[in-house]
Amino acid sequence: MNFTSLGLSEEILRAVTECGYTEPTPVQAQAIPAVLSGGDLLAGAQTGTGKTAGFTLPILQLLTASKKPAVGKGAIRALVLIPTRELAAQVEESVIKYGKYLNLKSMTMIGGVNINPQINKLKGRVDILVATPGRLLDHLQQKTVDLSHVEILVLDEADRMLDMGFIRDIKKILAVLPKQRQNLLFSATFSDEIKGLADGLLNKPAMIEVARRNATAELITQKIYPVDRERKRELLTKLIKDHNWFQVLVFTRTKHGANNLAENLAKDGIPSMAIHGNKSQAARTRALAEFKTGKLQVLCATDIAARGIDISELPHVVNYELPNVAEDYVHRIGRTGRAGSEGEASSLVCIDEHKLLNDIERLIKREIPVVQIPGFEPDPRIRAEPILNGQNRGQGGRGQGQGRGQPRAQGQGKGHGQGQGQPRAQGAGKPQGTGQGTGQGRSQGQGKSQSAPRPGGQPRAGGNSTSHTGGAPGHVQLTVGGGLPPPLHRSGGRGR
């Protein structure tokens, strides 16, 4: 399929061709005709699928073709609600890019910046408004925006907006929109809350769902690096330096953690900055720009701040700390391996996080290969501690931080290597131990009291150490197969 068969105008096709797109992505192939037909749409698609063009292109077309009488200055015709500032800016960039041959005006409306230039801009013509809910509500309260002519509403990343506590703001905004309008809702996940929102908002919507990247993430090489809590930074520095990783997006659980890590990596000689909601918009924009050009080697981010960052072909995502919510892992690794390029998602996992890892592997329905870096083997004497700092959902606007990410004790040390219990199913039929090289085959689990739990607290069934280890290039050691290896050693993968 190509774009010409989708019914888009010549001006839009020209702009799309200039972007280098040759064929529509699956979400575009389905969403564009659905939106052009004028009906409501419920789309299951996340960032990285091309969903922005999926709604922007047909909106541009509809607004251009609309027979409605010209409306006054500041009367918005299409409203796109977006959870975060960065994503809002990116979406408006797309609107400008795809609409460059059209006579439509757009505007980004986000918090964290002076409101007056926005008020001034609204005095002129704005056809398409891309806004975060909090700032839009401020404008509504000040009566500086007119939403009474909105023909099309988009709720983008609706799940994230609800996670961030925007539901009340959204409802207030919906209340002032004209009843007669077209509604498009995009969400990566469908919780009951999203379904409730969709039921109340959408009228006989077309429904599309494109494969989630996590379901098919062949292009993303995922790895677990077991390490002690206190040695994560040391290991990260080593990995970055040994492998000469550039453009590394590192996720931490808290803003404080992101700041600390960025400072410490910089001390280790690795140019790094943190990006999160406590930073000024200018600082966030600068960090992102430097990261995109490759000037900044590492960007440390919390989930909310990184949400929606579109950096194509991002080679490395590191989970410095696993997220409290398994689905955030999917969002995080979705930053890499995009647009057909390969990416690597590495997770530094300490004993506190085994339960989280278990949740993630259940969600993505696969075991993530474990790579043990020699010299960083977890100390078996260290016990799991509760993770108490999960409340890092405080960025991107107002009223965030509710709902998920509550402190939660994990890895309670159940089943400490007693040699009982069931071995965990190892990805049925997955070939193991092939092509791993020969290495020195260090024997594992013998003469050691390796007693930390397997992820989720399931001890591997005891037995002789039959695991193979492969001395893969780059002095990474891999553990494959059964036996009684230390925690988290299970399947192999090339240690790059």
| Contact positions vs ligand AMP (CB under 6 A) | 21, 24-25, 28, 47-53, 310, 312, 339
Between residues 24 and 471, which has the closer beta carbon with respect to ligand AMP? 24
Work out how close the CB of 51 gets to ligand AMP at its nearest, in angstroms, rounded to a whole number: 5
State how beta strands 468-472 and 476-480 pair.
antiparallel
Q: How long a stretch of residues is the chain?
A: 496
| Cα gap 268→237, rounded to integer Å | 7
Q: What angle do CA 472, 473, 474 make, to 5 degrees?
A: 115
Smaller CB distance to ligand AMP: residue 215 or 339? 339
For ligand AMP, give the closer residue by CB, 265 or 275.
275
Report strand pairing: 220-226 vs 343-349: parallel
Which alpha helices (H) appear in 176-307, and where do they start and end? 192-201, 213-216, 232-243, 255-267, 281-293, 303-306
CA torsion 132-134-138-143 (nearest 10°) is 50
Q: Are 273 and 290 in contact (CB under 8 A)?
A: yes
CB closer to ligand AMP, 310 vs 353? 310
Please state the closest distance from residue 320 (CB atom) to ligand AMP, in A: 24
- Cβ(166)–Cβ(25) under 8 Å? no
The three-state secondary structure class of 387 is: strand
Rank residues 159 and 367 by Cβ distance to ligand AMP and give the closer one. 159
Q: Which is nearer to ligand AMP, 213 or 355 (CB)?
A: 213
Could you tell me the smallest distance in angstroms from the CB atom of residue 189 to ligand AMP? 15
For the CB of residue 53, give the shortest distance to ligand AMP in the complex, in Å. 5
Residue 26: which H helix or E strand, with range? Answer: helix 26-36
Q: How far is the CB of 164 from ligand AMP (least distance, A)?
A: 18
Report the nearest approach of ligand AMP to the CB of residue 27 (Å). Answer: 8
157 vs 367, beta carbon nearer ligand AMP: 157
Nearest to 387 by CA among 192, 229, 155: 229
What lies within 8 Å, CB to CB, of 27 at 6+ separation is: 43, 45, 49, 50, 51, 54, 208, 210
Shortest gap between Cβ of 47 and ligand AMP (angstroms)? 5
Q: Which is nearer to ligand AMP, 16 or 484 (CB)?
A: 16
DSSP H helical ranges for 268-307: 281-293, 303-306
* Closest distance of CB 90 from ligand AMP, Å: 7
Shortest distance, position 449 Cβ to ligand AMP, whole Å: 48
Beta-strand runs (E) in 5-163: 41-44, 78-81, 106-109, 128-131, 152-155
Rounded distance, CA 438 to CA 417, Å? 28
Q: Nearer Cβ to ligand AMP, position 53 or 299?
A: 53
Minimum distance of ligand AMP from residue 185's CB (angstroms): 15
Dihedral sign, CA of 440, 446, 451, 454? positive
Nearer to ligand AMP, 20 or 429 (CB): 20
Q: Which residue is nearest to ligand AMP (CB)?
A: 52
State which residue, 145 or 154, has the beta carbon closest to ligand AMP. Answer: 154
Alpha carbon distance 59, 100 (integer Å): 14
Pick from 471, 466, 468, 470: which is nearest to 484 by CA? 466
Task: Quote the tokens at residue 344.
Answer: 């690597």
Kindly state the tokens that stand for 486: 């230390």
Q: How far is the CB of 97 from ligand AMP (least distance, A)?
A: 8
> What is the torsional sign of CA 192, 198, 204, 210?
negative
Cα distance between residue 150 and residue 78, in whole Å: 5
| CB 338, min distance to ligand AMP, A | 6
Indicate the residue among 49 and 319 with the shorter CB distance to ligand AMP. Answer: 49
